[in-house]
């Protein structure tokens, strides 16, 4: 692993955060809300003015479905923000929300936030959320009948 000074480390983390967020089509406000932060605090992370602590980085990694190691440079490997496959400077047209979404990008903003919240907390499983929703829907149906 290449040794970086503190400023280079902050910039590396900042660029990686921005790349992952843009790639997932989230706003800074979306991520800040999920992490229970002010948007300005998250903006500081992406500009390299400050860096998130390890716990916050771990939550962010879970939100984007990547390993925390993506935030640390590995010698001989392109950083996420330099990999052409992760080019976030291209202008992408907004996707229409699909009735049957196949990817996270096809989801509505609230649906994306729900998935990100699920990923950010290991105490909650998707199965438990699905079970709870099924019970609530069954209760609502029973009240209608």
Lowest model confidence (mean pLDDT) among 49-58, 108-117, 136-145? 108-117
* Amino acid 91: pLDDT: 47
CATH number for 6-89+101-144: choose from 1.10.260.40, 1.20.950.20, 1.10.287.1080, 1.20.140.10: 1.10.260.40
Predicted structure pTM score: 0.60
What are 44's two structure tokens? 């500081």
* Amino acid 78: pLDDT: 53
**CB contact at 8 A, 73 and 2:** yes
Please report, for residues 23, 30, 76, 95, 126, the alpha-carbon distance to residue 111 in angstroms, rounded to integers and kept in the order given: 16, 11, 37, 14, 13
Q: What is the pLDDT of residues 36-78, one digit of tens each?
A: 999 999 999 999 889 899 999 999 998 888 888 888 877 656 5
**CB contact at 8 A, 86 and 17:** no
- H/E run at residue 104: none
Q: Where are the alpha helices (DSSP H) in the chain?
A: 6-23, 28-35, 39-47, 54-64, 109-120, 126-144
Residue 85's pLDDT band (boundaries 50, 70, 90)? low
């Amino acid at each position: 692993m290449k040794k970086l000074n503190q400023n280079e480390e902050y910039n590396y983390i900042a660029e990686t955060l921005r790349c992952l967020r843009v790639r997932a089509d989230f706003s800074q406000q979306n991520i800040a809300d999920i992490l229970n932060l002010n948007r300005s605090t998250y903006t500081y992370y992406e500009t390299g003015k400050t860096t998130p602590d390890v716990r916050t980085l771990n939550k962010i990694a879970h939100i984007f479905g990547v390993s925390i190691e993506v935030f640390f440079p590995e010698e001989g490997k392109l950083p996420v923000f330099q990999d052409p496959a992760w080019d976030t400077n291209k202008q992408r047209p907004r996707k229409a929300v699909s009735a049957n979404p196949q990817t996270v990008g096809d989801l509505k903003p609230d649906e994306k936030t729900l998935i990100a919240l699920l990923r950010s907390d290991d105490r909650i499983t998707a199965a438990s959320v699905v079970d709870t929703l099924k019970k609530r829907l069954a209760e609502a149906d029973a009240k209608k009948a």
